[in-house]
Structure 1
Amino acid sequence: MAKGRKALKYGRAQDATTCFEKALMAQPQRADLWSLRAESLMALGQPDAAVQSLCRALVLAPGDAKGHNNLGVILVSQGKFDEAVASFRRAVRLDPDYLVALNNLGQALDEQNRRHTGEPTDQAAEVQAPSDAVAAFQQATALYSLKRYNEAIVQLELATSLDPSYIDAWTNLGLAWAECNQPEKAIPCFERSLALRENAGIRLAMATVLPIMPDSTEAIAFWRARYMAELQQLQATGVRLADPVGEVLTASFYLAYHGAADRPFQEALAAYFRSACARLSWVAPHCHRSMPLASQGGKIRIGIVSAHLWPGHTIGKLNGGFLQHLDRSRFTVSYVCTGRQTAEAVSMAGQADDALWLAGDLTTMQGQVAERQFDVLFYTDIGMDVITYFLAFARLAPVQCVTWGHPVTTGLPNMDYFLSSAALETPDAQRHYTERLVLLHGLPTCYQQPDGEAVEVDRNRFGFAPDWHVYACPQSLFKFHPGADSLWAAILRSDPAGRFVVIESDESAVTQALQQRWLAAFPDVYERVVFLPRQSGPAFRVLLASVDVLLDTPYFGGGNTSLEATSLGTPIVTCPGPLMKTRVTQAIYQRMGSTETVAATSEEYVALAIRLGTDADWRTQVSQRLIADRHLLFGDLAVVRELERFFGAAVDAAREDRQVTDWQDGWRPTLSDAPTHPAAMNEV
């Protein structure tokens, strides 16, 4: 059994399974062996066999709460939510303090109800009535899992009042206040937790907490300065982490929305983590410079890494084409999933040659990836989830690169390349990246054209009056930088028939914070701001088709939304800045040869918006041109072919212990492999 555990720890799942099965031949009544076999089978991507093995373990040890929880997790990955809920309930009944099972139960109940009714459920909040501190904490945990943070805060405050020494309640209260956009209330809660017990993860959460919806540019400056100072203090005091994946509660996601260059912050954060946990910088055996690349003379082995690579997610839409179209005569393509093994993720994995579903602690997951001996690891996004971020610290392939899923440098020394586009970057852009910046000729996506079915304009559906000029900005609310508030006010003041339409956050506290900020910033026209509830995929497309003008958010612009809107012919006004995260819509329009709604200044941005909103004839002309040229954006195999050549060049360079320093691709597109590429059409 010890040999099997070691094999599992280092990612050798097949060896581990063999060891456990040999042990079971001698000791078939060992429930722990059946459980370990289930874990190794899951690592091999065999959930059905894992369920059978775990059920056998639970027959032998029916009181194992962890086993029932693990069974529920597997059942969720198979989409069997009714059975999963039953398993999680058994785990909670056996161990009422089992927080992981409580959280899983809340999420499973929510998903179960969504599938039946389309709406989230309240059942998870009724796991126990709050008759004492533990019960209040459990109810808060379920509420938190449903993103009902304000209600969770009520129960957590009750728990801490009933038991002031309740460490986990203080911690979760801090996290809930942070989710409610009140970091100033989160910090004292973290301090109370730390006074009761030192914890590196909580200390980091306290140091790096940020407002989701800052109320001013001055507030942004304050919180960024605090973030850097606290981070430097953490590194100076030598706060250590044993397993960052299990200990770190939050990532640095919201830094990217402050409208500033984040390289110093990303590098400081990475430096702290490397000093706090030496294991992060682990080097896989096949990556030692004295060893040849694994695929020398054969196909290049590529692992595409993400927690979000599934059809309905922006990351899946941007990168699914790579998974599907990379040339299998030259490459073996694996999907390395750092997220849950959901039905959607499994469907995307079907486009790869194989899939690797990571599980366990950091060391185990590093070993699972290293066992595959990839030549290239291609991260679609780094910074959106904790597991992907920490996995990227290690040297797990000779070539490691990331692209624009989260359009900010990682700050990681072991990340070799950032794959961007000449259309997305300014001439001096390299200074914003720790990685070597690679400028592809096209946008770094092979985006499938959205559903070809006609989308009917339906203004009545959203309550738009016939005489309204609808200016919409349907972005996540954390993209609304306070520095842009004057633009929205200027547009509304210039067009008395104008309405500014945005989408509510799924957290009411964030929506309320933005409403209060705007009411203070432009009280004279605030009544013409319209907050719509969140829209499903089809309804969102109807909304995009039904508005008059889309307004790109300055400081952090649209990506997937801009592509979808362009496919419908809805014009977008944009004003690119110096950073890639502000330049995507401009790059889309440059690709189509249509830049008439790209502004150079804030004043021009407002003027273009007003002209589009009030001049129906011009708006129609712009829309017709977008529809006529939209085919240029989608299914771009030229960028896939260029990516293949880059991967080949990067692997060749790694064999010589060097990097590709100046990517200059001499390829010219032809109609045979890139029929929609403008250069190919110009050749004709």
Structure 2
Amino acid sequence: MQKAIASEKLGMPMEAMKWYEKVLALDSNQFTALHHLARLEIENGKPEKAIRLIQKAIAADGIQAGYLKSLGDAFRRQKNFLKATACYRKTLVLGSLDAGVFIGLFHSLSAEGMPEEAMAMLKKALLLEPDCVEALLLIGNIHLNNTQFEEAFQAFEKTVRIQPENSGNHFYLALALQKLDKYHLALNHYRKALDIDPKLYEAHVNTGTIYMVNKEIESARRAYESALVIKKDIPEALNNLGNLCLVQGKSEEALTWYRKATSAQPGFREARYNLANCLRKNGRYTAAMEQYRQLIDESPSDARLFNGLGVVYKMMKDYKAAIGHFQNAITLNPDLISAYHNLALVYHDTNQYEEAIACLGESLMIRRDFATEIKKCMLIPQIYTSKSEIDDIRGRFNTELDRLLDREDTIQDPFSQVGIANFSLALHGYNEKNIRKKIASFYLKVCPDLNWTSPSLKKQKTDKIVIGMVSRYFHSCTIGNLYHGIINNLAKDKFELILFAFDWKDDSLSRLIAKSADELVHLPNDFQSARKIIARYSMDVVFYPEIGLDPLTYFIAFTRFAPVQCKKGFGVTMGIPAIDYFISSKFTEPSNAAENYSEKLVQLDTLGYFIQRPTLPKKKLTSEQLGLPTDKTTYACLQSLFKLHPDFDHFIGKIFKRDPDAMLLLLDGQHSAWNELIVKRLEMIDPDARQKIFFLPRLPREQFVSLFLLPDAVIDSIYFSGGHTSLECFALGVPVVTWPSSQMAGRLTYGYYRRIGVSDCIAEDADEYAEIAYRLAHDHPWREQIGKKIKQKSSILFENLEDVRELESFFERAVTAAYDGKLLK
């Protein structure tokens, strides 16, 4: 018996059981051994055996309070809660004042569905034994479940004072502190818990979650991986690793983790929901739709699922279905703010501007939110019914922005909270300098953190100039095509090139771009995280291929990462103080160009691009394949419909008047509402316009190029002219009629003509524009003559190393000036 009791005290239950069994072999009615062995059998998960042993002890020694308490524990382990409660109550009748009895009653009464009586038992246990750690932990967890986090904290703090060497006490205190958003203190206690018990994987998981909240991505990753080393396939850790990858822009890796999480726990709804969202973000719309629908079948009242499914339909351009699902989400949960915002964006995309604004207004009625007010101000139409509507919108925009400027409210993250770069303003045809400066000043006021300087800011010049290029568009698209040649041909002995890429897309061009750079850095779609990653690098120049198209790049551009910061592309000033230079060309700029920019304007003697000459696809499209009429004269403006300013209607009207057989070829809009708006607008110019317009389908780039060979005349948009498309035309020897506006964005085609010394198709006004277009369409020898001239002289526009060398010269001079504390003159 002495050996058994000693083994039990030393925490050696199996050894103790062996000795108790030897006692009982000598005396089968030894009631102390029977009772102690029964308690060990309860802990060993064998309540039936324990009950038999206790009943034998009672038979040998009579009814004792201790036996009844243990019998209650055994019945409770059997989930026979009625018998357990009866045993505990008999123990109290016998006069036993043991906190453990009240704790047992708490458990059995809770299981019987009597929470108030159960809580009373727990309080009696604490009155009897105020330092009872088991009771304190139980009452702390009740407070946690009831979101009474301060009360939970007080209970758990007491357990740590009583038993400071218990890992569980530190764990629960850390959990309460985490719920109270006291992350630093929570981390301290999670670490103490792990110092005591390094295998407490839950502490690693929760530590990772705190790091995620603090956007310490790598620390979070290490914490989750540590948890998985201890215990394989922890669903929460696997799910959160997926969340981390998604923040880092590693969406394919995120899918892998979400799938592991759902495999580890098939019923883990949050992981399945995240998997659906990730599939959607990866463009796997059919698979995402299937996931959402499965979840909806299980939980038809979960508004988030309809919201997610609505986003899938939005991405698939099924706007009617998207609107229906967002409305379903709002019906199920009228307070789901994200559904209102998503619905507003669909209305905006389908040019239902007033409906979009109304949606954001409803969101603000549910919850006043300064960021939503900003979004409501910044959200402006992409296509307009008239010039007067543009002026009204700009007036409203300026008034609302002034109102918001008077506020003292702030926001933390303009990308996630607002996420608009005001691209549409550039389509209005005005000098953007003042309004862009006002917008930038506004964001700096409401989010002072934008005015941030990298701690790695380079202080002195070294042998090689380190250039960082930041963009979302290093793939097969206009930006990728325009900049691949520069990336590939920068002098490797003079420059080191780092590409910082958001949302990397793996295609043939992106692989070539990545191969040409010294380093490729994948950036997450998260403002703070992306900024920290870029700031790890010490650079001489940060070069933005565009600012104004992508909202995240726009907000990143407020940071000072390098002594020289410049932008090119998207020919509109941004008003951002951290951008030193706007790189343009003397061929595209008007005489008063410097007045249009907040940045220092650099006018190159070249265009500053190295572009591969486009080639026609082997299989060319024919008019018959596209269903084009053969009895009409076709004029094509193959630009995105949002580039068609209402003033352009006047130019089209001149062509229709000049040529009664004219047929205007336009590209399909992103949705049919855009097409209809353009048609209705042109009907105001020509009542028969609907019969004179033919919308061409949107095609892959290789097939799209062949479209330029089909029409009788190609015409350029005004205020925001063709860029890459005009270069493609010139490579094929296709003339483009253009009219240069007063701002660089409307002078790109004009600039290309100036660069090659051909001026035949440059118009001075709408009348001459229509006349040149008519002559191209009807005077075939003249058109061929112009086309040959363009094709012969266009070689200077393509694969011209002079453009790259001039850019290199600018970088060298700008860096030298920057380290002398100056800007270039």
Q: TM-score range by the shorter chain?
A: 0.7 to 0.9
Match for residue 132 of structure 1?
301
Q: 1:219 matched to which residue of 2?
A: 389
Deviations along 1:399-431, one digit per CA (max 9) or x if unpaired, are 000002x11101101100000000010111111
Q: Does 1:61 align with 2:197?
A: no
CA shift at 1:532, angstroms?
1.5
Query: Does the C-alpha gap of structure 1 residues 28 and 500 become closer, same or farther in structure 2, counting only changes over 3 Å?
Result: farther
CA contact (8 A) 1:31 1:56 kept: no
Structure 2 regions of 5+ residues with no counterpart? 1-194
1:108 paired to 2:282: yes
- 1:350 corresponds, among 492, 497, 515, to 515
1:171 aligns with 2:341: yes
**Superimposed CA distance per residue, residues 225-266 of structure 1 (whole angstroms, 9 cap, x where no aligned partner):** 111111121121123111222212322011111111111221
TM-score (norm 1): 0.83
Question: Aligned equivalents of 1:479 and 1:136: distance in 2?
Answer: 34
- CA contact 2:558–2:579 (8 Å) conserved in 1: yes
Please, which of 444, 459, 462 is the counterpart of residue 292 of structure 1? Answer: 459
After the TM superposition, which residues 604-643 of structure 1 pair with which residues of structure 2 at under 5 Å, given as runs?
604-643=768-807
The equivalent residue for 1:117 is: none
Residues 332-359 of structure 1: CA deviation (Å, up to 9, x unaligned): 1111113335456454222101112222
389-398 or 486-495: bigger deviation: 486-495
| Preserved contact between residue 99 and residue 141 of structure 1 (Cα < 8 Å) | no
- Equivalent position to 1:581, from 745, 760, 763: 745
Which residue identity does 1:362 align to in structure 2?
F
Q: After TM superposition, give the deviation of residue 457 of structure 1 in Å.
A: 6.0
The answer to whether structure 1 residue 330 and structure 2 residue 330 are counterparts is no
Paired position in structure 1 for 2:557:
392
State the shift of 1:316 in Å.
0.9
- Aligned mates of 2:738, 2:230 — CA distance in 1: 58
Shift in Å at residue 64 of structure 1?
4.7
Q: Give the aligned partner of residue 35 of structure 2.
A: none
CA contact (8 A) 1:336 1:356 kept: yes
Per-residue deviation at 1:528? Answer: 1.4
Contact 1:592/1:632, CA 8 A, preserved across alignment: yes
Structure 2 counterpart SS, 1:604: helix
Paired residue for 2:378? 208
* Structure 1 residues 395-410: aligned runs within 5 Å: 395-404=560-569, 406-410=570-574
* 8 A contact 1:200–1:247 mirrored in 2: no
The answer on whether the counterparts of 1:575 and 1:605 sit within 8 Å (CA) in structure 2 is yes
**Does the CA contact (< 8 Å) of 1:376 and 1:397 recur in 2?**
yes
Measure how far apart 1:267 and its partner are: 0.9
- Contact kept, 8 Å, 1:550 with 1:573, in 2: the verdict is yes
Contact 1:446 1:635 in 2 (8 A): yes
Against the structure 1 CA distance between its residues 112 and 160, is the aligned structure 2 distance closer, same or farther, given a 3 Å change threshold?
closer
> Distance between the aligned counterparts of 1:337 and 1:483, measured in 2?
37
CA offset at residue 203 of structure 1? 1.4
Q: Residue in 2 aligned with 1:667?
A: none
Query: Cα 1:85–1:297, aligned 2, differ >3 Å: closer, same or farther?
Result: closer
Structure 2 Cα separation of the partners of residues 102 and 518 of structure 1: 43
Contact 1:124 1:142 in 2 (8 A): no
CA distance in 1, matches of 2:254, 2:695: 33
Residue 253 (structure 1) aligned with residue 420 (structure 2)? no
Distance in 2 (alpha carbons) for counterparts of 1:477 and 1:58: 56
Alignment of 1:455-466 (within 5 A): 456=620, 458-466=622-630
- Counterpart of 1:680 in structure 2 is none
Write the distance in 1 (CA, Å) between the matches of 2:489 and 2:535: 25
Q: Does 1:564 align with 2:738?
A: no
Contact 1:97 1:138 in 2 (8 A): no
Deviation at 1:474, TM superposition (A): 1.1
Whether the aligned pair in 1 keeps the contact of 2:353 and 2:380 (CA below 8 Å) is yes
1: CA distance between counterparts of 2:525 and 2:701? 33
Measure the CA separation in 1 of the matches of 2:726 and 2:703. Answer: 16
For the pair shown, which has the larger CA radius of gyration, 1 or 2?
A: 2
Q: Amino acid of the residue matched to residue 446 of structure 1?
A: F
Q: Is the 8 A contact 2:261 2:268 kept in 1?
A: no
1:98, distance to aligned residue in structure 2 (A): 8.6
- How far apart are residue 558 of structure 1 and its match? 0.3
Q: In the alignment, is the contact (CA less than 8 A) between 1:43 and 1:359 conserved in 2?
A: no
Q: What is the CA–CA distance in structure 1 between the aligned matches of 2:557 and 2:576, rounded to whole Å?
A: 8
Alpha-carbon deviations, 1:622-653, whole Å to 9, x = none?
Answer: 12222222322101110111111111111111
Which amino acid is the alignment partner of residue 299 of structure 1? K
Deviation at 1:526, TM superposition (A): 2.6
| CA 1:347–1:125: 2 relative to 1, 3 Å | farther
Structure 2 Cα separation of the partners of residues 496 and 88 of structure 1: 65
Residue identity matched to 2:658? S
Give the direction of change, closer, same or farther, for the CA distance of 1:530–1:83 in structure 2 (3 Å limit). farther
Partner amino acid for 1:106? Answer: R
CA distance in 2, matches of 1:398, 1:145: 40
Question: What's the offset of the Cα at 1:611?
Answer: 0.6
What residue number does 1:116 align with?
none
Instruction: Check 1:283–1:494 CA distance in 2 against 1; reply closer, same or farther (3 A cut).
Output: same
In structure 2, what is the Cα distance between the partners aligned to 1:207 and 1:123? 36
Partner secondary structure for residue 670 of structure 2? coil
CA 106–656 in structure 1, closer or farther in 2 if over 3 Å, else same: same
Following superposition of structure 1 onto structure 2, how do residues 484-499 of structure 1 map, counting pairs within 5 Å?
A: 484-499=648-663
Moved more, 213-222 or 146-155: 146-155
TM-score where L is the length of structure 2: 0.69
CA deviation after TM superposition for structure 1 residue 580, in Å: 0.4
Aligned residues: 622
Structure 1 pair 325–471 and aligned structure 2 pair: CA distance change class (3 A): same
Residues 125, 143 of structure 1: 8 Å contact kept:
no
Distance 1:376 1:64 in 2: 39
Counterpart of 2:715 (choices 524, 543, 551) is 551
Match of 1:67, as an amino acid?
N
**Aligned position for 1:18:** none
Classify the secondary structure of the residue corresponding to 1:272: helix
Structure 2 CA distance for aligned equivalents of residues 415 and 33 of structure 1: 39
Matched AA of 1:493: K
**How far does residue 89 in structure 1 lie from its aligned partner after superposition?**
7.8
Deviates more, 1:121-130 or 1:347-356: 121-130
Amino acid at match of 1:212: Q
Q: 1:197 to 1:79 in 2, by over 3 A?
A: closer
Give distance in 2, aligned partners of 1:300 and 1:207. Answer: 41
Change (3 A) 1:350 1:53: farther
Query: 1: distance between equivalents of 2:557 and 2:329?
Result: 38
SS in 1 for 2:516: coil
**CA deviation digits over 1:208-232, x for unaligned, max 9?**
2211211000100011111111112
Larger CA deviation: 188-197 vs 57-66: 57-66
Q: In the aligned structure 1, how far is the partner of 2:267 from the partner of 2:544?
A: 40
SS at match of 1:172: helix
Distance 1:560 1:301, change over 3 A: same
How many Å apart are 1:330 and its aligned residue?
0.8
- 1:51 is displaced (CA, Å) by 13
1:159 aligned residue (317, 326, 329): 329
| 1:482 counterpart letter in structure 2 | P
Moved more, 391-400 or 628-637: 628-637
Q: Does the alignment pair 1:414 with 2:578?
A: yes
- 2:544 alignment partner AA: Y
Q: 1:596 aligns with which of 734, 738, 760?
A: 760
**Corresponding position: 1:187 with 2:357:** yes
| Residue aligned with 2:467, SS | strand
Cα 1:171–1:360, aligned 2, differ >3 Å: closer, same or farther?
closer
Alignment of 1:142 onto 2:312: yes
Does residue 94 (structure 1) correspond to residue 268 (structure 2)? The answer is yes
SS in 2 for 1:285: coil
SS of 2:411 mapped into structure 1: coil
Q: Are 1:378 and 2:543 matched, yes or no?
A: yes
DSSP-derived class of the 1:283 partner: coil
The one-letter amino acid paired with 2:678 is L
Calculate the aligned-residue CA RMSD, in Å: 3.6
Secondary structure, in 3 states, of the residue corresponding to 1:104? helix
Letter in 1 for 2:515: G
SS class of match (1:237): coil
Per the alignment, residue 236 of structure 1 pairs with 406
Q: Closer, same or farther in 2 for the Cα pair 1:352/1:53, shift >3 Å?
A: farther
Distance 1:559 1:98, change over 3 A: farther
2:642 is the alignment partner of 1:468: no
Deviation of 1:191 after TM superposition, in Å, equals: 1.6
Distance in 1 separating the partners of 2:573 and 2:347: 28
Is the Cα–Cα contact under 8 Å of residues 582 and 602 in structure 2 kept in the other structure? yes
- Work out whether residues 456 and 536 of structure 2, in 8 Å CA contact, stay in contact via their aligned partners in 1: no
Amino acid at match of 2:728: E
Change (3 A) 1:377 1:50: farther
Q: CA deviation at 1:100?
A: 6.5
